[in-house]
Structure 1
Amino acid sequence: MTSRERILTTLSHKEPDRVPLILNPTMHPARDLDIPLREYFKSPELVAQGLITSREKFGTDAYIGFHYTPVEYEAFGGNVIFRDDGPPNSGRPVINTGEIIDNLQVPNIHETPCLQMVLDMIRILKATSPDDAPIFGVALSPLSLPVMQMGFEDYIKLIYTDEIRFQKLIAANSRFFLGWATAQIEAGADGIIYYDPVSSPTIIPHELYRKTGLKIAQNLIPQVPGPVVSAFASARVLPIIDDVLTTGTIGVAVWAGGNEDLNEIKVKCSGKLTIIGNLNGIEMRHWTREQVFSIVKRTIRSLALGGGFIMSDNHGEIPLQVPDEVLYAIRDATREYGGYPISV
């Protein structure tokens, strides 16, 4: 099977030839080229070529069309902080008064340089990829983007103390989300990753999620002109999977540790949601090849039977400190243990 056929078969809850693999070492190509991350991420050409090179090195089955998480915060006027040993991060909040929410203007997607940078990269990737491997764009949920726009503490206070302005902010971010997701599809992305860590019960109570994040997702995901996968940034998902099933998403990224039962996740998702994950990107900095094979084997046995599972990390962005040897081992172990029919 080609990578596209493998991914599509898996998303259809059928068994492909082997478990698909998606790895996203966003910063490794810059390191290999000895280019500062600021310079690398600001070049659509370099990022597109980096994604192609990484896919060829590590044998992955899809591209994640992504530069850095705070690009959407940057679009609202934020200052991105670049560093040499980790991913770019958001600077000071761009919303620090209620009046700013009252007058918040949604960025024009096609007139915002940082967004055009990502769209140009997707177009280049689509045109220069050596095959038809799927491309997934990334868009932050309207509930999660304000963590960068406002800062975590002030945003949580807003949720609980100012319902009117909270709804105004969500409405503005929802308009932005739909425009941004649609623009990525039009540029060549085959689907969108709906990145929504705040909705996880790790961050907010389940009851609050049902009043906020769930309703937002139920409204927006069906409007995206392409398939959507929901990701929660290595936060817990098991308690809300039944709710996530109602949003129209086709897949869910799962957490790698703690009290999440992979077998229970498989039962809840089987035939309904494709499971993506479960490798811990932080811990893999120190994995040996033997550990990789053991973890991958255990994960495949828990999640891959009957299809509907994509091997990946649990967060969507692999730390720069993860050695290539670990990523090679993940590739090799997935191929060794992930051939269908799965042996348990």
Structure 2
Amino acid sequence: MTMSSLERILTTISHKEPDRVPLILNPTMHPARDMGIPLKKYFTSSELVAQGLIATREKFGTDAYIGFHYSPVEYEAFGGEVIFREDGPPNSGRPIIRTGDEIDTLTAPVVEETECLQVVLDMIKTLKKDAPDDAPIFGVAISPLSLPVMQMGFEDYIRLIYSDEIRFNRLIEVNKRFFMDWATAQIEAGASGIIYYDPVSSPTIIPPELYRKTGLKIAKELIPKVPGPVVTGFASASVLPILDNVLSTGTVGVAVWGGGHEKLSEIKQKCAGKATVIGNLNGIEMRHWTREKTFSIVKQVISDAAPGGGFILSDNHGEIPLQVPDEVLFAIRDAVYEYGRYPISV
């Protein structure tokens, strides 16, 4: 029996086998290219992004909508400048926090009064209303530990973590209040769940012992309070050394890198019955894949992680580069349809 996307996702996160492996692809910039619209015009229009997400789902056969415009939208909400370009995603401009005094006076933006956030919420509402089916919509919120990389700049933020505990804690408290308001607003607008985007917590960025003192405590406090399911993502950074801790936060899924020494099969084994594994196609390498190589990689990933359910095929970062050809994305879809039907027999 063929399932709907919603049935397929719900069955998967229940750690049962659906009809086939769910597929989530998020080529955020491709719709603007297809429409012939500059990225700035596209991303600042709730209607255009909603149209783009619906078109992407129809084009590539994905099983969910990612209600995402660009990563710096939360930094922008705090007063930061976003730098748009035509060959890549928007980036944050100069840090908005340059002195300790600015942390002392920092306040969280009011979601209802912040234009850039309202654009995202309007997009989710439009998507909920206009989408032709009941495929899940996932909102995105950056963790309070990771947002300061844009607010302060990476080097100054790492220095703050180690040198000024009082101001670090104050910054985290402001970001925690904002996170809860922002995540809740997206759920209320129609999102089915939230992606908790937390790359700084990865062992790629900070030592696991520091994560357990900071990011872990923050996640264990906030994730259970979100009025909907939460998936944790690390933006193509490693996770295996802290995976047991991540599973204790209440997250229903973990978006993983699975590269280098981190075997996807080992990650799946640790997560089995606890959290859905999401990943782990390399979006950067994807730019150069042939159809044959795409089929080979997808086949191996499905073999490693799909048996028994609890696995969603996706990229390893959450945003596919504009330079990835449509032909590769079509090949990913076709390979999932060929190798991802349960029972898995690759």
Q: Which amino acid aligns with 2:213?
A: K
Q: Secondary structure at the match of 2:210?
A: helix
Q: How does 1:221-236 map to 2 (within 5 A)?
A: 221-236=223-238
Q: Report Cα offsets for 1:292-342 as digits up to 9, x if no partner.
A: 000000000000010000000000000000000000000000110000000
Cα contact 1:43–1:117 (8 A) shared by 2: yes
Q: Secondary structure at the match of 1:300?
A: helix
In the alignment, the residues of structure 1 paired with residue 241 and residue 54 of structure 2 have an alpha-carbon distance, to the nearest angstrom, of: 36
Q: How does 1:130-279 map to 2 (within 5 A)?
A: 130-279=132-281
In the alignment, the residues of structure 2 paired with residue 116 and residue 244 of structure 1 have an alpha-carbon distance, to the nearest angstrom, of: 31
Q: Which amino acid aligns with 2:240?
A: L
Q: Secondary structure at the match of 1:296?
A: helix
In the alignment, the residues of structure 1 paired with residue 307 and residue 241 of structure 2 have an alpha-carbon distance, to the nearest angstrom, of: 22
Q: Report Cα offsets for 1:197-240 as digits up to 9, x if no partner.
A: 00000000000000000000000000000000000000001111
Cα contact 1:233–1:316 (8 A) shared by 2: yes
In the alignment, the residues of structure 2 paired with residue 214 and residue 73 of structure 1 have an alpha-carbon distance, to the nearest angstrom, of: 22
1:125 partnered with 2:127: yes
Which consecutive aligned stretches of 4+ in structure 1 deviate over 2 angstroms post-superposition? none
Q: Secondary structure at the match of 1:22?
A: coil
In the alignment, the residues of structure 1 paired with residue 256 and residue 101 of structure 2 have an alpha-carbon distance, to the nearest angstrom, of: 38
Match of 2:318 among 316, 319, 327: 316
Q: What percentage of residue pairs aligned between the two structures are identical?
A: 78
Q: CA deviation at 1:256?
A: 4.0
Q: Which amino acid aligns with 2:345?
A: S
Q: CA deviation at 1:257?
A: 1.7
In the alignment, the residues of structure 1 paired with residue 259 and residue 247 of structure 2 have an alpha-carbon distance, to the nearest angstrom, of: 22
In the alignment, the residues of structure 2 paired with residue 225 and residue 115 of structure 1 have an alpha-carbon distance, to the nearest angstrom, of: 19
Q: Secondary structure at the match of 2:195?
A: strand
User: How large is the RMSD of aligned CA atoms in angstroms?
Assistant: 0.5
Number of residue pairs the alignment of both structures matches: 344
Where in structure 2 are there 5+ consecutive unaligned residues?
none
In the alignment, the residues of structure 2 paired with residue 257 and residue 144 of structure 1 have an alpha-carbon distance, to the nearest angstrom, of: 21
In the alignment, the residues of structure 2 paired with residue 53 and residue 266 of structure 1 have an alpha-carbon distance, to the nearest angstrom, of: 31
Q: How does 1:27-106 map to 2 (within 5 A)?
A: 27-106=29-108
Of 249-258 and 39-48, more deviation after overlay is shown by 249-258
In the alignment, the residues of structure 2 paired with residue 158 and residue 129 of structure 1 have an alpha-carbon distance, to the nearest angstrom, of: 44
Q: Secondary structure at the match of 1:69?
A: coil
Q: CA deviation at 1:105?
A: 1.0
Q: CA deviation at 1:263?
A: 1.4
Q: CA deviation at 1:180?
A: 0.1
TM-score, normalising length: structure 2? 0.99
Q: Which amino acid aligns with 1:301?
A: S
Q: How does 1:12-31 map to 2 (within 5 A)?
A: 12-31=14-33
In the alignment, the residues of structure 1 paired with residue 166 and residue 332 of structure 2 have an alpha-carbon distance, to the nearest angstrom, of: 47
TM-score, normalising length: structure 1? 1.00
Q: Report Cα offsets for 1:20-64 as digits up to 9, x if no partner.
A: 000000000000111100000000000000000000000000000
Q: Secondary structure at the match of 1:278?
A: strand
Q: CA deviation at 1:259?
A: 1.0
Q: Secondary structure at the match of 1:73?
A: helix
Cα contact 1:197–1:231 (8 A) shared by 2: yes
In the alignment, the residues of structure 1 paired with residue 336 and residue 166 of structure 2 have an alpha-carbon distance, to the nearest angstrom, of: 49
Match of 1:333 among 289, 313, 335: 335
Q: Which amino acid aligns with 2:183?
A: A
Match of 1:292 among 291, 294, 313: 294
In the alignment, the residues of structure 2 paired with residue 137 and residue 82 of structure 1 have an alpha-carbon distance, to the nearest angstrom, of: 22
Cα contact 1:256–1:280 (8 A) shared by 2: no
